[in-house]
C-alpha cells in the first residue's frame, strides 16, 4: 500500500476543535504506551493552542507527566529565550509548568554550530533508543506541521537535509522560509520512526499545499509517514481542500 493510501484524514471544525482532537490523540497514545512515552513536538504557530491546552485541566491532571519524555522535531539556532525558539515556545506554553525538567529534551543551541547540536541530539536519542530505527519505532508520537512550501520540521524541499537517509538529526545552514536563521532538524528517517505521526494543519493559507501533498507532489511532507505505525492528517475545515474527505 502506498504512503498516501495509509494516511488517515480527520477534519476538525475549527482551530479549537483541532487542538482538542490532537490532545485527545496524544493522551490516548500515552495511555496505550506501557513504557516511558517518547513524544516529539514540533514548532511553528499551529501547535501553540494544543500546547496551551495541555497545561490546563483536564489534560494537565490526566497526563502521567513523570513517564513522558518530550523531544523537538527541530529548532531555530537561537537562544531559548528568543521568541523564534521552538523549544522556548513549548517550554513557556506547558513544559516548564508540567513536565519534570529531566523529561524535557530540547536541541542545544548554545554549542558552536548547528551540526554540533545535531550530533549531540542524535547521541541523546541513541541513549533512549540504542538500536536501529528499523528494529522498533523511536517515538510513540510525532507531531508535525507543514510549511506553505511543503517542508516538515526544518527539512525544506530539494535540500540535503530533506534527502538524508542515515543520520537522525542534521544541521540546516539555510532555512527555506522565515525565520531565516540556521536550524537543527530531525531527519525523515527519525521522524518517520513513529507509532503515530500526526500532522496538525490549520487555516486557509495551508489549503494549497495540502492539495499538493495529497496529489502526490514530491515534498518532504508527502514523504513523511509513520514507517511502522499510523499517519494521521488532522486539519481544520479552513485548511482542507474541498475534495479532501475524512477517512474516519
Ligand atoms: C518550524 C517548524 C516548522 C513548522 C511549519 C508550519 O520550526 O518552523 O517546526 O516545520 O511546523 O513551518 O509552521 P506554522 O505552524 O507556523 O504554519
CB 130: neighbour CB atoms within 10 A?
8
The answer for residues whose C-beta is within 8 angstroms of residue 151's C-beta and 6 or more apart is: 157, 162, 176, 177, 219, 220, 221
Q: Looking at residue 23, which CATH number applies to its domain?
A: 3.40.50.1360
Q: How far is the CA of 34 from the centre of ligand 1 (A)?
A: 30
Print the domain residue range for 58.
3-236
Q: How far is the CA of 58 from the centre of ligand 1 (A)?
A: 27
Q: Report if residue 203 sits inside a domain.
A: yes
Ligand 1 pocket check for 154: Cβ under 6 Å: yes
Q: Report if residue 248 sits inside a domain.
A: no
Q: Which atom of ligand 1 is nearest to the CA of 179?
A: 8
Q: Report if residue 43 sits inside a domain.
A: yes
Q: Report if residue 132 sits inside a domain.
A: yes
Give the dihedral of Cα atoms 140, 90, 235, 125; nearest 10 deg.
-30
Per-residue pLDDT of the chain (248 residues; tens, 9 = 90+): 454 448 999 999 999 999 999 999 999 999 999 899 999 999 999 999 999 999 999 999 999 999 999 999 999 999 999 999 999 999 999 999 999 999 999 999 999 999 999 999 999 999 999 999 999 999 999 999 999 999 999 999 999 999 999 999 999 988 888 889 999 999 999 999 999 999 999 999 999 999 999 999 999 999 999 999 999 999 999 999 999 988 86
CB 73 within 8 A of CB 41: yes
Ligand 1 pocket mutation pick from 71, 146, 169 by most atoms within 8 angstroms of CB: 146
Instruction: Specify the number of domains making up the chain.
Output: 1
Q: Report if residue 245 sits inside a domain.
A: no
- pLDDT per residue as tens digits for the range 141-182: 999 999 999 999 999 999 999 999 999 999 998 888 888 999
Q: How far is the CA of 62 from the centre of ligand 1 (A)?
A: 27
- The overall pTM is greater than 0.85: yes
Hey, is 234 helix, strand or coil? strand
Q: Report if residue 21 sits inside a domain.
A: yes
Q: How far is the CA of 86 from the centre of ligand 1 (A)?
A: 9
Nearest CA among 182, 180, 163 for reference residue 171: 182
Amino acid at each position: 500500500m502506498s504512503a498516501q493510501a495509509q494516511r488517515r484524514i480527520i477534519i476538525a471544525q475549527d482551530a479549537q476543535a483541532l487542538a482538542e482532537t490532537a490532545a485527545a490523540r496524544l493522551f490516548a497514545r500515552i495511555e496505550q504506551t506501557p513504557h516511558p512515552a517518547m513524544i516529539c513536538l514540533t514548532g511553528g504557530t499551529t501547535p501553540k493552542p494544543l500546547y496551551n491546552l495541555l497545561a490546563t485541566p483536564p489534560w494537565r491532571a490526566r497526563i502521567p507527566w513523570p513517564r513522558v519524555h518530550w523531544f523537538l522535531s527541530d529548532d531555530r539556532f537561537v537562544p531559548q529565550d528568543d521568541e523564534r525558539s521552538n523549544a522556548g515556545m513549548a517550554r513557556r506554553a506547558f513544559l516548564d509548568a508540567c513536565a519534570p525538567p529531566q523529561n524535557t529534551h530540547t536541541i542545544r543551541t548554545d554549542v558552536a554550530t548547528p551540526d554540533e547540536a545535531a550530533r549531540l541530539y542524535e547521541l541523546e536519542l541513541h541513549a533512549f533508543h540504542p538500536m536501529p530505527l528499523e528494529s522498533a519505532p523511536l517515538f510513540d508520537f510525532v507531531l508535525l506541521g507543514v510549511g506553505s512550501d511543503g517542508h516538515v520540521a526544518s527539512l525544506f524541499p530539494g535540500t540535503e537535509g530533506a534527502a538524508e537517509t542515515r543520520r537522525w538529526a542534521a544541521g540546516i545552514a539555510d532555512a527555506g522560509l522565515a525565520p531565516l536563521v540556521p536550524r537543527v532538524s530531525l531527519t525523515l528517517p527519525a521522524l518517520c520512526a513513529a507509532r503515530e505521526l500526526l500532522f496538525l494543519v490549520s487555516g486557509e493559507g495551508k489549503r494549497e499545499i495540502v492539495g499538493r501533498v495529497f496529489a502526490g507532489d514530491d515534498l518532504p511532507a508527502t514523504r513523511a509517514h509513520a514507517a511502522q505505525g499510523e499517519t494521521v492528517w488532522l486539519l481544520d475545515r479552513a485548511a482542507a481542500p474541498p475534495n479532501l474527505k475524512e477517512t474516519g
